Amino acid sequence: MWGDADGVPGFYWWDRNSSRRIASSNPAHMREIEHKIAARNHLGGLLRGGSSYSNTMSGGARHRILTIAGSDPRWFAPGQGMVRAFALVALNPGRTIRFIGDAVWEVLQEAEDRIWVTLNRRPRLFEGMFPLVRVLFNVLARDVITAGTRLDMLQAVPIIYTCYIGYDVVGHHSGPLSRNSLRTLKGIDRSIKALFDTGDRAPCKYRFVILSDHGMSPAVPVAEAFATDFDQWCHDQWQCRTAVAAVPSAGERGQANPSVPFRTPSGRMPRPGTTWLRTWGRIGAWALELGTSGAIRLGARILDESSPTHDGGIAVISCGPLAQIWLRGSTTPVSRNTIEARCPGFVDAVLHHPAVDFLMIRSNSRLQVVGRNGEVTLRHLDTVPDPGQPMPAVVVQVDGISPLAHLDEPEVAAIQLARLGSMDATGDVICFGATLVPATTRRSVPGSLRQPHFWSFERQLGTHATLNGDQAYPFLITPSDLDVNVDSVTEASQLHDLLVTISRGDAGTCRGEVQREDERSTLG
C-alpha cells in the first residue's frame, strides 16, 4: 500500500516503547501505524483517490470499506461505502434469496467436513462458532465487497483494491489443500468473474491484477502435540533459568497425538488473542465500521486486553510458524550476550525445541542465524533493494553447516532475514518453525498426505509466516500486454512501485485491483 514496511515485523508484535502487543486486526493500532508510514511517504499511497475493500491499511484510499486502518471516530462516516454495498445486496430480492441459499450451503459443507474428519480421525480444529464465521467471510463479506467493487467500477472510481479473505480463514482452520478449503475458491472465482464482466460495461477501461500475498503450508499445532504450548514453555524456561525439555503429549517425539482430536486440552482455557478470538476480533473491527466513536474506543480496549498477561521478563508472540521473543523493559533491541546474562542457556534451549528449525538473534553489529549444526552471520540491510538491481550480498560468514542451506532459495532467504533483523521492532529472539512429515494418514492434514508439514506456534492446520515450502510462494497475474519482471523482488513492499506504474500508467483509463487472500489468500 505504501512501499514501506519498516516497523511492521509481522501480523502481531510487541511494541517496546508502549509495552503492549500490537495486532493488525486492531483498528486503533493500524490507524496509528499507517499514520506513521504515511508521514514518511509524501507521494501518497497506492490507492490515493480510490477505494479499499477488506484491507488492513487504506493506502490513502478515499473510500475505505471493511478496512482495519480505515475506521474513523466520526459517526457513520467510515461505513458509508459499506452501507451502500450492503443495501445493494439486501434490496435485491434475487440476491437475498441466493445469499440465504449460499449461507445454508456453507453451513452444510462445514457440517459434512466435520463428520468426515471425525470418522476418519483426521486432524481438525473444533471451533464451535466457525460455521457462522464461514457465513460471514465466505458469503456476506464476499457479496458485500463484490457488490461495492462493481458499483465503484460503474462509477469510474480510478483505482480499487478488493481482498477476498475466505480461503485464508478456512485454510487456517482445515488445511490449505483440504476439500473444505478448496471449495471456498469456487465462490471467490465466481466473484472475480463478476468483476471482469462488470469491467466490460464500465465507462472506462480497467486493468485487472490478481495477487496472492502469500502461499500456505499444512501445519501441526505445537499446542496439540506437546505438554505445553510454545509461549508458555518459553516463559517457564525463562523463569526456571535452567534447560526444560519440550515433552510430547503422546505418541512419538515431535509427532502430533494421533488419538486425540485437535481441540483445546481439557482444563486449559484458550489464550486471549488466539484462534477463534482473533477471528472474532477482526469481525469486531469490521463491525466498528458502522459504530459510533464510543464503540470504536470500546472495541480498541477489548482488543488491547488480548495482550499477553505473563508477568515474566519476556513477551512471546506467535504468528503461525514464526515466534518472536522480546525482553520486557528494554526500549532498544537486545543482543545475545544480554539475553545470556539474564538467563544462561535460554537461547540454546529454545533452539533445541523440536518445533524450532533455526532462530535469529543480534550479536554486536551483526545478525546471527543459528541452527543446531552451524551459524550464518549477516550484515544489516537497512533499505529495501531497488527492483531490477542485483540482489545484495548480505552473508558475512558461515560456520559449520548453514541453517539456510536446506531452504528452496537460500540467497533470497538471507536477504529477507537481513531486512527483518534490521528493524528495531523485531524480537530479540526470532524463532522459525521446523518441518516434519507425519508418519500416518491420521496425523496428516487433509489433502496433504506425505507432504512436509510445518510446526505452527498458533493453533492452525494451514500456516504461513516463515521461510520455505508453499507458504513462501505468492503469485501475481497481470495483463498480458504488460512487461512485468519480478525476478529481483524479495519482499512485498517492492511491488508498490510496480503496482503504481500499472494503475497510473495509462492516462484516461481506470485501473482495478483484486486481491485473493490465500491463507490469508489475497486477490489484489
Tens of pLDDT, residues 79-117? 455 566 667 666 777 777 887 888 888 888 888 888 877
Rounded-to-10 torsion of CA 185, 467, 22, 57: -50
Residue 414 scores a pLDDT above 60: yes
Q: Which three cell numbers stand for residue 86?
A: 450492503
Residue percentage of the chain with pLDDT more than 70:
78
Residue 522 scores a pLDDT above 80: no
Residues near 315 by Cβ (< 8 Å), separated by ≥ 6?
14, 21, 308, 325, 326, 328
Cβ count within 10 A of residue 390: 8
User: What integer pLDDT is reported at residue 246 of this predicted model?
Assistant: 67
Residue 518 scores a pLDDT above 60: no
User: What integer pLDDT is reported at residue 353 of this predicted model?
Assistant: 95
pLDDT digits (tens, 9 = 90+) for 492-502: 888 888 888 88
Q: Is 91 exposed, middle or buried (0-12, 13-18, 19+ CB in 10 A)?
A: exposed
Residues near 345 by Cβ (< 8 Å), separated by ≥ 6?
241, 242, 243
* Confidence grade of residue 284 (pLDDT, cut at 50, 70, 90): low
Average pLDDT, the chain: 81
Q: Which three cell numbers stand for residue 73?
A: 471516530
Residue 333 scores a pLDDT above 90: yes
User: What integer pLDDT is reported at residue 452 of this predicted model?
Assistant: 93
Secondary structure class of 361 (helix, strand, coil): strand
More confident residue, 269 or 64: 64
Q: Which three cell numbers stand for residue 501?
A: 506504474
* Confidence grade of residue 252 (pLDDT, cut at 50, 70, 90): very low
Residue 394 scores a pLDDT above 90: yes
Residue 324 scores a pLDDT above 60: yes
User: What integer pLDDT is reported at residue 264 of this predicted model?
Assistant: 32
- Asked if 1 contacts 496 with a C-beta cutoff of 8 angstroms, the reply is yes
Tell me what the mean pLDDT of segment 14-20 comes to: 92
Q: Is 323 exposed, middle or buried (0-12, 13-18, 19+ CB in 10 A)?
A: buried
User: What integer pLDDT is reported at residue 427 of this predicted model?
Assistant: 96
Which region among 189-203, 278-292, 481-495, 501-515 has the lowest average model confidence (pLDDT)? 278-292
Beta bridge partners, 317, equal 324
Residue 290 scores a pLDDT above 80: no
Segments of 31-170 assigned E as strands: 51-53, 63-65, 159-164
- Helical (H) or strand (E) element with 30: helix 27-40
